[in-house]
Amino acid sequence: MKNILLGITGSIAAYKAADLANRLTKAGHSVHVVMTRAAAEFITPLTLQTLTKHKVYTDMFEPVAYEDVRHISLAKQADLCLIAPATANIIGKIAAGVADDMLSTVVMAVKAPVLICPAMNAAMYENPVTQANIKRLSGFGYHFVEPKEALLACGDMGKGALADLADILAAVNELLEA
């Protein structure tokens, strides 16, 4: 059993994270979810908590009844950090070293491999700034599963849809076995 930290950001593809968390849990992994506030607008923390059997973290400053610094302890226990879906916003934050919410702070502290699965409008994905951020993070050793080309939620056709879950799970297994 591996500890997987699943970061979920505010993309319409957040609903797919429930299936991803469920599959990872059923595969025997311990899945700990950190959601951005925007992600919680698309899917509730209760859904992820029910599927993973673990508390879902959304707020860095919630009162705690334990003696640890939660963003650090989550980062230390992770065998893999998976961000799916990953918006242009979280990719940019990580590339710039910005740690201003629970997810970005945990990612800055994690020493395990980080697998990022972008999901956004095709124009946002193709934007030179987003591509530069992806290249920068790849240079630092972050891993990516590219989005697929599909009819996007906005009605555009293009590359930006979250990769198929089978492809994400294959990348997870590859990194866990490395």
What are the catalytic residues?
A: 154
DSSP state of 107: H
Closest to 174 (Cα-Cα) out of 115, 103, 104, 87: 115
- Which residue carries 């957040």 as its tokens? 14
Query: How far from the centroid of its chain's Cα atoms is residue 141's Cα?
Result: 16
- Which residue carries 């990580």 as its tokens? 94
Count of C-beta atoms within a 10 Å radius of residue 55: 13
Beta-strand ranges (E) seen in 12-153 are 30-35, 80-86, 114-118, 143-144, 148-151
Contact 42, 118 (CB under 8 A): no
Rounded to whole angstroms, the Cα distance separating 95 from 25 reads: 29
Phi, psi torsion values for 148, nearest 5 degrees: -105, 160
